[in-house]
Structure 1
Amino acid sequence: MTSPASGAGSAGLDVFARRLPKVEMHCHLPGAIPVETYLDISRANGIPVRSTAGEDPYAFTSFEDFLELYGMICAVLRTRADFERAVYAALERQTRTGNVRYAELFFSPTDHPSVPYATQVDGLVDGIRAAEHDLGIVARLIPSINRTLPAAAAVEMVEEVVAYRRDEVLGIGMDNNEALGPPARFVEAYRMAGRHGLKRTAHAGERGSAEEVAVTIDELGVDRIDHGYGILNDPELVKRAVDRGLPFTGCWTVSLIQMGRPVLGRMIEAGLRVSINSDDPAVIPTDLGREFHGVASTENLDRQALVQCVMNGVEATWLDDSDRRALRGRFESEIHALQAELPGE
């Protein structure tokens, strides 16, 4: 499992793609932690990492191998300060490499079984508040269900989220291996989240299943879909999603790896509300600027299409109406100035 090349697009498009202000709504915190931060935290906690001298600690060879590595990254985070440091470093990298201004980050509480949920959240809130103060990036949190666990574990996670509410926690998600956790298993957890005013999203269709996407929409009642590539195999489902205006958080590099062919351009052409995201940028490795340029250069998207993907992301955020309106205005102003500074070829 290796990362595809970005394509040959023009230098002008690359600069424009990287300098666009961006939102990030499909990013898993453990996969966004810079490798240097991961190594420092692991050493401080006396936890060995999976590598030998000269090897990349983040190297992986398959999706299953990636999930094993992901679990090892989760295992080094033990204290409130670890979570604070990890999220701050991830947000700094996103700001620097992708010009990200707003992010909604996934973390899976059950992937840290020895750390109380409140400790995880408190550390993450500490880190995102520090990042906003120091870097200007605003971030919010999405506790995510590990779909390989039983339904009862998902319900328990939602109960913890509800019992320990923080303003920075906006909703729930669901991730990990789709083949081992059908969405219908988690209906109770999603209904509970909805009753308590939490937004809902879930990974679905990452490996091409339209049925996974349909069940996630119809039975889990999600507000948006993460990945969702399999929807292209069901034209009627595409039409339903378009009519509803359902947002999709696509990830260019991962879509190529999982589907073996370009799909984001086809989703956009079909009228779906697609935003571009990075998934696990430090581990893959990639960054959001590279993801934007990759989509444009391999799937023939022009600058205006990239701008539309940015604004799709803004509209799909879980901010309240006033904050979303303010973010929209800020982005429109910055994009207008960037277009004037970098006129298209």
Structure 2
Amino acid sequence: MKGKSFIDIRTLVRKNILTMKPYSSARDEFKGEAEVFLDANENPYPTPYNRYPDPLQKEVKEKLAALKGVDASQIFLGNGSDEAIDLLIRAFCEPNHDSILITEPTYGMYAVCADVNAVNIQQVLLTPEFDLDLDAFPNAFDATTKIIFLCSPNNPTGNLLSRDKIIEVLNRFYGLVVIDEAYIDFSNSRSFVQELKKYPNLVVLQTFSKAWGLAGLRLGMCFASEEIISILNKIKYPYNVNIRTQELSLEALENAYKKDIWVDEILNQRDKLIKALKGLKIVDKVYPTDSNFILVRVQDANATYRYLTDNKIIVRDRSRVSLCYNCLRITVGTPEENETLIKALKQL
């Protein structure tokens, strides 16, 4: 089956969302240039943050659109990717009726947002190699399934999901397919952002938190058709991205080469860290990774985690997650941080 260009996205949206009248802020209503602003009940004295931010972050989107090769109307910016995840579920899933489908293991906020919105959660276990099990998919979703969330590179496993299998899901499923690419900059794979025209039900999430080094700003990117983006803009809070975040993200986009330098260094450190971890007696397996973290199976994850915290080193214990028994997730740090970690682990 080829890309489903005939899908009517409106049939997937909750009926009350389609018919609701969105809140219109003062900055939404005015178009053009002005010198005197007496429309939004702001304090007139510069702090310099006395004015409300651009509610649609137009300048940031224009810069980002040029970088990603899409139109600005295909971009939603939110307070972290979590806002986009929440809004997608809220817009397309009827509470106490509809469902989302997630793979296990995966990023935990998909399930959290579904629970908050009283949306059912269907699950499909990944293969032992942490890839999609397409044979299990037909039995996992039904007529209530509105969204499939696929994290690639996956968290906490670190690997890319098979591109061919993702494309098969896009072809076979008539709801939204959301591909979370938070770690895509650390992989050799091309982004699915370039596939938006082919698949009208495709949504791609990215973030400024990882490769861009701006986790503290909480700025997430969502790429989709103009129709889907318009739905998210309709139900978002009016000023969801503050002025300072917009300013600093613009600065980062204007100096994108810095991100590339950081990625190269992180990948270099990742290779060294993998080699060092494989040489430790407590390590049973180091899993392949396409991200800025490494999933490691050790002999006793709980004991190792407690030992590291006692030594003021924090990693993530994922041993209770599906398919990740006795596994720790370790972020690639600076050379000094990585050396401190390995030195500590050698003492076990």
Q: Same fold per TM (> 0.5)?
A: no
Larger helix share, 1 or 2: 1
Relative to the length of structure 1, the TM-score reads 0.30
What's the TM-score, normalizing by structure 2? 0.30
Q: Which has the higher contact order (CA 8 A, sep 6+)?
A: 1
